[in-house]
Amino acid sequence: MLRFRLFVFFLALSFSLAAGLVFWLWPQAVAAPTMVTEKQQIDSIVIEKAKRKMKLYRQGQLFKSYDIKLGFTPKGQKTREGDGKTPEGDYLINRRNAGSKFHLSLGLNYPLPAQRANAKAKGVDPGGDIFIHGQPNWMSELPALAHDWTDGCIALTNQGIEEIWRLTPIGTKVSIRP
């Protein structure tokens, strides 16, 4: 009888853990829209900081444009961690994160070697983890924030990042202009 009770207990425990894992992973699986075909993907992204615009290009032609928000002190080049600036220059999308604390995120290869060397010469940390992403997950049901609010990333609406996520492969060129 004791063996049977232990068996039932461990069976119930295993089922509970498996169900919990499914529900924990489910939002991440749903949140990551699938990629489009290679022919439909974009070639490059141009971010115009002063205009708060992100433009997607396919075969050299403007495909779509989005309103964006930047770091909390966006003017100028990012030189150190915590300065609230969005970096300027030419980068590549080098990672995709469907489980981010923001709604989807596409990582940039910031800092570049020259930016690391410049920061090292000044004795500061150049920062890192610059992403194109949506709104914070905890506020997914609220409207997009109306002001520059990131630590240096490029933010847009959740609907916008879902569209960009589908169109943007690893290796996409990103040019961030003043």
Pairing of strands 105-108, 61-67: unpaired
Q: Under DSSP, is residue 157 helix (H, G, I), strand (E, B) or coil?
A: coil
Run of H or E including 111: none
Q: Under DSSP, is residue 109 helix (H, G, I), strand (E, B) or coil?
A: coil
Run of H or E including 175: strand 173-177
Please return the burial class of 106, using the count of CB atoms within 10 Å of its CB with bins 0-12, 13-18 and 19+: buried
* Residues assigned a catalytic role: 133, 153
Instruction: Compute the chain's Rg from CA coordinates.
Output: 21
Q: Say if residues 127 and 111 touch (Cβ distance below 8 Å).
A: yes
Q: Which of 101, 100, 96, 111 has the alpha carbon at shortest distance from 164?
A: 96
